Chains A and B, each alone.
Chain A
Amino acid sequence: MATQTPYEVLGVKPDASAEDIRKAYRKLAKEFHPDLNPGKPAAEARFKAVTAANDILSDPEKRARYDRGEIDGSGAEKPRYSYRPHAEGAQGWKYRPQGEMDAGDLDDLFAMFGRSGARAGRAGEGFKMPGPDRQFTLTVDFPLAATGGKQRLALSPGEWLDVTIPPGIDEGQVLRLKGKGGAGFGGGPPGDALIEMHIAPHPFFRREGDDIHVELPVSLAEAVLGARVPVPTVTGPVTMTIPPGSDSGSRLRLRGKGIHRKRRGSETIGDQYVTLKVMIGASGDAELAEFVKGWAEKHPTDPRDAMGAGVDPGAADKAAAS
């Protein structure tokens, strides 16, 4: 149960004068003094309580501190349950006023700044903040990545943007589109759209810097006799001349058919390299086999000659037999 206040112990009113307190104490102290009440523990306890109450109330300074709630009835410093650290701590949200924004809603917080600016009579001069950037990824075909152009990107359901892609973008490159991000706060500018570019792998084009490489299959006749053949480039097919007697692996250059791009004011132009791949394409053709047999007997050659003495023309046969 709640303990008595020192005033209650002495049986005086809280506004009692010092003289009243002194009289009350004298009377009670006499009544419960242990020497006058031998063997009565209850009396002794009352005497102690009366003395403690008098200690506080007879001293004007202690009495004032007790009245302010700074010390308790035994004269000990009273713990203060200050509300502020609780109210401002995590538990304080429990007593938030109706309509207070949620802990996670920063937009409302910024909206509050906007209002305070308007109230101060500086319309349009409130809290301004750029909108957030938005991130996207966009995958484009190889030729478009090489030549540049436009591709449509869905920003959100029903919101489309034609992205202008510069020639020769790199895999993983990020394009920044100014003002295409989230809306600004309080009249601030919108954020940017950050578009991470990806290039779809192509069945035959390959890029090395600003040059494009392609492997071109040619027939035995085209390789031996020479020919003019169509070659795909990123801007469409062109005609290329294959010189007579071209070997498989020969590399031909189509000047200026690589990536054109402007870099720091000056334009750089890449080339396309075409590597020939001779296709015999006639396995089991008896006529060709017969002809080559006769031709080879008249023209003995060793294409591995350049590899030096370490390679014995018969070594492959021996290896296959073992």
Chain B
Amino acid sequence: MIGLDELTRRFAALDSVELTRWIENRWILPDAEGGRWLFHEVDVARVELILEIRHEFAVDDEAMAVVLGLLDQLYSVRRQMRRLCDAIECQPPEIRAAIRQALPKVGEEP
């Protein structure tokens, strides 16, 4: 976990006014402790993601909300899929084989 100073040191292109707006928009959800923000690794990675989208693809705030919303949904689906895969992994080999068999190949009519 790092504070705001360390975060701005890590990302030269990060503007603290801009970051404050992201936090107000709830795009970044740092912990607030004793009047300080504390950023977990996931928050730091997300700051970099937003920086990249913002500067490299010139995405403005309005579009950013849409992009982040879609990304969060995508990762939500991927997390759910991972849970399902984990559940399948716990099954005996014959059940895993049956599931593999039941999966239609890409482009094949199920």
* Max chain A Cβ within 10 angstroms of own Cβ: one of B8, B11, B14, B75: B75
Q: Could you mark each residue 4-34 of chain A with 1 if its beta carbon is under 8 Å from any beta carbon of chain B, else 0?
A: 0100000000000000000000000000000
Q: Are the CB atoms of A2 and B75 closer together than 8 Å? A: no
Contact in complex: B48, A83 (CB < 8 Å): yes
Give residues of chain A (102-122) contacting chain B, Cβ–Cβ below 8 Å: 103, 106, 109, 112
Contacts of B78 in A (CB 8 A): 87-88
Contact check, B84 vs A109: say whether CB atoms are below 8 A apart.
Answer: yes
CB distance from B5 to the nearest CB of A (A): 10
Contact in complex: B80, A83 (CB < 8 Å):
no
Residue of chain A at shortest CB distance from B87: A106
C-alpha spacing A289/B50, complex, angstroms: 109
A92 near B40 with CB under 8 A, answer: no
Contact B73 A97 (CB under 8 A): yes
Given contacts A2-B9, A3-B12, contact A97 B76 (CB under 8 A): yes
Residues of chain B with a CB closer than 8 A to A109's CB: 80, 83-84
Task: Judge whether B73 and A92 touch: CB under 8 Å.
Answer: no
With A3-B12, A86-B46: A96-B76 Cβ-Cβ less than 8 Å = yes
> In the complex, which of the residues B12, B46, B52 contacts A2, with contact meaning CB atoms closer than 8 Å?
B12
A101 contact set on B, CB distance < 8 A:
80
Residues of A within 8 A of B45 (CB): 81-83, 86-87
The answer for the CA separation of A83 and B74 in the assembled complex, in Å, is: 13
Q: Is A136 an interface residue (CB 8 A)?
A: no
Judged by DSSP, the binding face of A is loop
Complex alpha-carbon distance, A3 and B49, angstroms: 20
B70 to chain A, nearest CB (A): 9
A-B pair count, CB < 8 Å, reads 69
Tell me if B19 counts as interface (CB < 8 A to partner A).
no
Tell whether, in the assembled complex, residue A95 and residue B46 are in contact, meaning their CB atoms are under 8 Å apart.
yes
Q: How far is the CA of A2 from the CA of B16 in the complex (A)?
A: 12
Interface SS, B side: helix
**Closest Cβ of chain B: how far from A121's Cβ, in Å?**
12
Q: Is the C-beta of A38 less than 8 angstroms from some C-beta in chain B?
A: no
A94 CB-CB contact with B under 8 Å:
yes
Q: For the complex, is A283 an interface residue (Cβ under 8 Å from B)?
A: no
* Cβ B42 vs Cβ A100 within 8 A: no
* B3 interface residue per 8 A CB criterion: no
Say whether, besides A2-B8, A94-B29, A83 and B72 are in contact (CB < 8 Å): no
B42 touches A92 (CB 8 A): yes
Q: Which of B5-50 contact A (CB under 8 A)?
A: 8-9, 11-12, 14, 29, 40-42, 44-49
In angstroms, Cα B78 to Cα A106, docked, is 15
**Nearest 9 A-B pairs (CB), nearest first?**
A91-B42, A87-B75, A2-B12, A86-B42, A83-B49, A81-B45, A81-B48, A83-B45, A86-B45
Residues on A close to B: CB < 8 A? Answer: 1-3, 5, 69, 81-84, 86-89, 91-97, 100-101, 103, 106, 109, 112
Q: List 16 A-B contacts (CB under 8 A).
A: A2-B12, A69-B52, A69-B56, A81-B44, A81-B49, A83-B42, A84-B75, A86-B45, A87-B71, A89-B42, A92-B42, A93-B79, A94-B40, A97-B76, A106-B87, A109-B83
**Besides the known contacts A5-B12, A96-B72, 15 further A-B residue pairs in the complex with CB atoms under 8 A apart:** A1-B9, A2-B12, A3-B12, A86-B42, A87-B78, A88-B79, A88-B82, A89-B42, A91-B42, A92-B79, A95-B46, A95-B75, A96-B76, A97-B73, A106-B87
B residues lining the A interface (CB < 8 Å) = 8-9, 11-12, 14, 29, 40-42, 44-49, 52, 56, 69, 71-73, 75-76, 78-80, 82-84, 87
